[in-house]
Amino acid sequence: MQFFVDSADLQAIKDLADTGMVDGVTTNPSLVAKSGQDFKTLIAEICDLVPGPVSAEVTALDADAMLKEADELLAIAENVCIKVPLTWDGLKATRSLADRGKKVNVTLCFSANQALLAAKAGAAYISPFVGRLDDIGADGMGLISDIRQIYDNYPDLETEILVASVRSPEHMRAAALIGADVATLPPEVLRSLIAHPLTDKGLEAFLADWKKTGQSIA
């Protein structure tokens, strides 16, 4: 399973990339606005930090304008992945970019039918938003399971499931059990995956026992 960082915080991305756990990065207009940085400069700096795909989202709403923006973003770095919304124009742009061999991340997916359309359009990634579905009382992980089954039914569909709007370690565990290809996590959620009280308790006991020996390894 691949881990992407869902962030525009350069320091957080660098710190996590240094662990070797980061396979890519996703951004969106809200994260960029929060960073306060120039969009193109920010994407270029992220691409320098992470060799894997870096999703940069278009803001246009019609297909031709999306493709024009996509060309601007693709010129930034070889590992830029164009992110488009799951609309008819977004799917048209996806097909055009996919036909040129460019990776596209189709975002704001909330149904299995939408995911099927994105795969038919040639998306490299589909981004279902599990947390936002949970917020309205729907079953976010149920959607991931449905998409996994549909894609597995048709081996010619090569779109990877990129679980987005991940809010907790439980989301991550469930996504991995279902067999999602990728999960994109906020830095704080990714860091939280390592935490367990018994790990802390066990380490504390080991160190206390070691101290009693009076020894030093180095």
Assign residue 149 the CATH number of its domain: 3.20.20.70
What is the per-residue pLDDT for 115? 98
* Residue 211 tokens, joined: 């101290």
Instruction: Kindly state whether residue 46 falls inside one of the protein's structural domains.
Output: yes
Q: Average the pLDDT over 35-59 and give the result.
A: 95
Asked whether residue 179 is domain-assigned, the answer is yes
d(CA 120, CA 2): 23
Tokens at residue 5, please?
A: 């960082």
Whether 218 is in a domain gets the answer no
Confidence of residue 66 (pLDDT cuts 50, 70, 90): very high
To the query of whether residue 83 is one of the catalytic residues in this protein, the response is yes
Which residue in 186, 140, 135, 181 sits closest to 161, CA to CA? 181
Give the pLDDT confidence score for residue 91 in this predicted structure.
98
Domain assignment present for 136: yes
Over residues 41-61, the mean pLDDT reads 97
The number of distinct structural domains making up the chain is 1
pLDDT digits 0-9 by tens, 107-160: 999 999 999 999 999 999 999 999 999 999 999 999 999 999 999 999 999 999
Domain for residue 54, yes or no?
Answer: yes
Output the pTM of the full model: 0.94
How many CB atoms sit inside 10 A of residue 48's CB?
Answer: 13
Q: How confident is the model at residue 26 (pLDDT cuts 50, 70, 90)?
A: very high
Residue 132's domain comprises: 2-213
Residue 43 lies in a domain: yes
Mean pLDDT on 45-53: 96
Cα separation, 86 vs 107, in Å, equals 6
Give the active site residue among 14, 68, 83, 201: 83
Distance set, CA 81 to CA 21, 22, 27, 32, 137 (Å) = 19, 16, 10, 16, 31
